[in-house]
Structure 1
């Protein structure tokens, strides 16, 4: 890949999750995690099919908000997607989670116990002092009703974005980042930093018993690189597992309608230039074209879905979001 670029991801607008039942997922996210409803639309037609690479797609999209961040629950009404494999682990390359910042880990963890979660972590874990980059951070990983991976994260006063330390009476504050399992840090940095203009915010090597108990992976050792757009906000965390070694790749026949599908909406300053640059550099495209939306129900005017080097879905959308 060539590395010169003047592209910039301005911010991450939202994260989309394919779900089997939008009502069930909406109930879970609003009740268990205190998200708030924003909109509920159903879309169909060639534009959406071309965007997502699923012919004849009819999609119900329920948008929810937590703090400043948005998620979109995407239920394909006329296509049945494959479920997330039951034996999924954190080092499988389809692993992707949402990290939800909380004001009080013990209270948030207790609140979750009343809901149908599948825990990954033994219990909330505290990163030990030996790990300077993450010392004192508390985290707990679990799965939602579709088995999408989620994490509660609490930051001590000297860690995390400033907004997580503002006085709030809320228990669940917002989404700090989406973490993705990757096969090679340098390869991913070429895509996210060199091509898309995201910035490295920090990194750490997490290992020993704490990480093993957090991930339910014996002997887990993971190189973590935190990325954010220049304007801050929602970020992406790269998880490069050293022990156990890389898990299974994302199967080439998985589509946007399959339940493991998550797509990160990247607001770019020039979508045509972005698409040209990504094409020049051999990036895999899901969308057959830059799709132009004429109906007012779509929250963006144009979009183009591509895959990162490991197959995680990234939706490029233009900066001017309003019609």
Structure 2
């Protein structure tokens, strides 16, 4: 599917997680998953309130790096957001996980299990070899201290990007993709490919006992469409659950300060044109307008927060 516009997503710069406590999450991500601290800033003022759609926001933002990839932990210091529903499942439409690539699944799993994590998967699972797109891939899903969904993933030699197979001493290598539960593949492809210019990288159907044990979802059958930006890097996976069917929709009143909030920061070639295209296609906007803001103590960015068809948050920014 090719883009119908001149808009192109160059890359995913970072993935933001709203957290209850930056201190707690910082300890977890740096110790259990070996992320490295990049910066720790506190922002407040009209720009961030306008950007995130939260009045009077005062936000501590901790930037962490794993390999080439960044995550941003966002703690709203003056607002208590709603927690993630404790009965969340992989087919609920607010589901979103980060896939963290490891060089050795058994060692990474043993290291992770020395911390008090809540597992989703029964144990690391190996995708059957007759699955052309992901056969031989090993994966394990679990939750961070706030209940955000995470996945360890290991690629056999014939799968995954070249960089995941470079010889180095690191156990946790970086972030391959963020996977989001969706209600309709074609609807999501229209948003991400037709409107934003992302490209389809692969398609697969994952099912059988392996997928059920991975998701802790009996009878799970999921259609997966992997998307990449033009500069490659972190991708987005669309998870369209055929069985047991679509889960609950994302509540319309969830805000950026609520703990379930995750936003993917997409760097686009032309922010103003992108905003106009999305507006003319009836996309839901969170920001009050294009906002100039500072990230990680770096130079100013211009950005706009929107929602995809199922309510997942997408922060569109210009390249700098």
- TM category (shorter chain) comes to over 0.9
- SS of structure 1 residue aligned to 2:27: helix
Which residue of 1 is the match for residue 210 of structure 2? 210
Which residue of 2 is the match for residue 158 of structure 1? 158
- SS of structure 2 residue aligned to 1:214: helix
- SS of structure 2 residue aligned to 1:278: helix
Which residue of 2 is the match for residue 123 of structure 1? 123
Which residue of 2 is the match for residue 267 of structure 1? 267
5 Å matches for 1:206-245? 206-245=206-245
Which residue of 2 is the match for residue 315 of structure 1? 315
Give the total of aligned pairs. 318
- SS of structure 2 residue aligned to 1:80: coil
Which residue of 1 is the match for residue 34 of structure 2? 34
Task: Quote how far apart the aligned CAs of 1:129 are.
Answer: 1.5
Task: Quote how far apart the aligned CAs of 1:4 are.
Answer: 2.1
Contact residue 63 and residue 296 of structure 2 kept, 8 A: no
Q: What are structure 1's unaligned runs of at least 5 residues?
A: none
Contact residue 95 and residue 180 of structure 2 kept, 8 A: yes
5 Å matches for 1:21-170? 21-170=21-170
| Counterparts of 1:105 and 1:146, CA distance in 2 | 23
| Counterparts of 2:133 and 2:72, CA distance in 1 | 31
| Counterparts of 1:221 and 1:107, CA distance in 2 | 29
- SS of structure 2 residue aligned to 1:242: strand
Change (3 A) 1:231 1:87: same
Task: Quote how far apart the aligned CAs of 1:298 are.
Answer: 5.6
Q: Alignment RMSD, CA only? A: 1.1
Query: What are the Cα deviations for residues 205-246 of structure 1, in whole angstroms up to 9, with x where unaligned?
Result: 000100000000000000000001011000000000000100
Query: What are the Cα deviations for residues 115-151 of structure 1, in whole angstroms up to 9, with x where unaligned?
Result: 1110000000000112121110000000000000000
- SS of structure 1 residue aligned to 2:135: coil
Instruction: Determine whether 1:301 maps to 2:301.
Output: yes
- SS of structure 1 residue aligned to 2:191: helix
| Counterparts of 1:236 and 1:300, CA distance in 2 | 26
Task: Quote how far apart the aligned CAs of 1:152 are.
Answer: 0.2
- SS of structure 2 residue aligned to 1:225: strand
| Counterparts of 1:293 and 1:62, CA distance in 2 | 15
| Counterparts of 1:137 and 1:272, CA distance in 2 | 40
Query: What are the Cα deviations for residues 176-233 of structure 1, in whole angstroms up to 9, with x where unaligned?
Result: 0000000000000000001111000001000010000000000000000000101100
